[in-house]
Each structure stands twice: as structure tokens, then as C-alpha cells.
Amino acid sequence: MYFLVCYRKMQGTLAGLSHALSARLTGALPEPGDAASVRSRHDKGLAPLTDHPPAPVKSGLSDEELAIHPTVFAPDALKQQVVVISGGAGGIGRAIAFLFARLGAHVVIVGRDKSKLDIIVTHLANRNLKATAHAADIRDPDAVAATFDTAWDAHGRVDSLINSAGGQFPQDSIDFSIKGWNAVIDTNLNGT
């Protein structure tokens, strides 16, 4: 049901954007710098449209923010659990690693870049949270098996797996090279 509500809201937003674009292309809407447009937007209390791109939006929370971000979960909800998180050095995986460690789990963070993994493990350890890093490429089945063997040997168990590793190229799929296409498929489908 939630998905359906989100989907319908997205349809409405896309329809509105499509209508606005059509109006702009047919001349029904003034150009962003047009005096009438600026005056009209000012009268409505809106910021003027400009040809300048918007300022970059901050993406995600810093490690300091992740360490104290409010949560509804009990501090020991994952006490003594071992959680393997692929793609845990950045983005959503990093946020999950912080949350799960704060909830008492020992997080086994997996990624390709050992230096990035070491940084997050250090940040977690500085807060007395339990984490280890394992450099591995999830596209390589032998590397994945070795990672699980290492985690199992060190902890005697693996309670949960979070597949957060992923990658994509910001382009139309028709424009992918064979190598790029295979990299995305191997990471996002085969690697998970």
C-alpha cells in the first residue's frame, strides 16, 4: 500500500513536471529571466528562477552525526549479533554500519577500498563500537567466500547480511559499453 501511495505521488509530480516543460517549450511560460516571470514569482513569495544550477545539496550525514543520530531502537537491540555489511564504507551501508554498531552488533564491513574501510572502523572504534574491515570485491565469488570464512572463524557465527554494495553510471542504458554494463550487472545482481 505504501508503495502504491508513493507511486501515485510520483506520477502526479511527473505529470506536473511534464506539463510545466510542455508549457515552457510552447512559450506558454516565460523564460526564467523574463521580467514578468520574476515579478510574478516575487508576488507569490517565491524565489526568482535563474539559469544558474542550484547549490550542491549535502548528501547524507557525517560520521559525527551518524554516531548520535536519534533512533527508535533500544541500544542493545542487536547485542552480540554479527552483521556483515557489503558496501559499508560509504552511503547507506556506512549509515547502517553506524546504526547496527550503536545497537550492539559487531559489524563486519566489506568493500573494495581497504583505506576507506579502515577509516570507518577507526571512527567506530573511537566510539567503543565493534567493527572489523574486510577488503573484498563482491563480484568475485571466491573473495566473498573467503570473507564469510574469515568472519565465521573470528566470531563463530554470522547473524545477518546487508547487501548495500552497488554501482551505476549516470547515463542511458543504451549508451553503456559492454564493460560498463557487465560491471553494473556483476555488482548489483550477481554480487548480491
CATH of the domain at 148: 3.40.50.720
In this structure, are 155 and 72 located in the same domain? Answer: yes
Comparing 92-101, 130-139, 147-156, 175-184, the range with the smallest average pLDDT is: 175-184
- Domain housing 135: 63-163
Residues 22 and 97 in one domain: no
Task: State the pLDDT at residue 170.
Answer: 83
pTM here is: 0.67
In a domain, 57, yes or no: no
Residue 185, in any domain of the structure: no
Tell me: do 17 and 100 sit in the same domain. Answer: no
Tens-digit pLDDT profile for residues 94-125: 999 999 999 999 999 999 999 999 999 999 99
Poorest-pLDDT segment among 5-14, 61-70, 102-111? 5-14
**Would you say residue 53 lies in a domain?**
no
**Average pLDDT taken over every residue of the chain:** 80
Number of compact structural domains in the chain: 2
What would the 3-class secondary structure string for the chain be? Answer: CHHHHHHHHHHHHHHHHHHHHHHHHHCCCCCCCCHHHHHHHHHCCCCCCCCCCCCCCCCCCCHHHHHHCCCCCCCCCCCCCEEEEECCCCHHHHHHHHHHHHCCCEEEEEECCHHHHHHHHHHHHCCCCCEEEEECCCCCHHHHHHHHHHHHHHHCCCCEEEECCCCCCCCCHHHCCHHHHHHHHHHHHHCC
Residue 9 lies in a domain: yes
Residue 157 pLDDT exceeds 70? yes
In a domain, 58, yes or no: no
Q: For a pLDDT cut of 70, what percent of the chain falls above it?
A: 69
Task: Please report whether residue 73 resides in a domain.
Answer: yes
Looking at the structure, do residues 85 and 139 belong to the same domain, yes or no?
A: yes
Phi, psi of 19 (to 5 degrees): -65, -45
Q: Using CB atoms within 10 A of its CB, is residue 133 exposed (0-12), middle (13-18) or buried (19+)?
A: buried
Is there a single domain that holds both residue 87 and residue 158?
yes
Q: Give CA–CA dist 108/66, Å, rounded.
A: 17
Same domain, 149 and 68: yes
Same domain (yes/no): 157, 87: yes
Position 190 confidence tier, pLDDT thresholds 50, 70, 90? confident
If pLDDT is split at 50, 70 and 90, which confidence band does 13 have? very low
